Structure 1
């Protein structure tokens, strides 16, 4: 049996979190939690220990780049995948410097897209 990856979804739009959960669970991920802001995302990631965090770049009170830095500093082995409705070309330098595994536009989100960035589970 293929191991299932544990994933935390961080986005301030409840509708996107719900849609992403349904899609990614259907594709074999275990969604261990959801967060609408950066501070609760860091706290949840510490408590729930996901393998992957799907992280929106635009969040209230902070941005996803700051949250990404906090997550990667605090949790060895954690993989962060950034997402947004914005065009990655506008953010390419910041995504590259963030330490994240990569970027997936929200409209192109899928389990395969995440696996393409971080590899399939062994």
Structure 2
């Protein structure tokens, strides 16, 4: 991990420490962890956002993709379905479309594995 990435992680961690309810900073930090291959840390942060701020629509796609990477396909599919409901409520059409596409891909993969 570069010193620039470490600095960014430290800055985001400070922001979260000063404001534990800051979903945006948690989300940004989770993305940094995922990018650095620290999936467990990313998952903890994404799941924390999901439980404390379930209307934070961006978390559904990224946590779902992380579940897919960890081979938790049914959990990913369930998450995409919940995210679609949130996106529809918030009239976030682009996010809804991305979630529907991700759901279709994961369902196809699940079907292929079961046959």
More strand by share: 1
Q: Common fold, TM-score beyond 0.5?
A: no
Tell which has more relative contact order, 1 or 2 (C-alpha 8 A, sep 6+): 1
TM-score (norm 2): 0.33
More helix by share: 2
Bigger Rg over Cα? 2
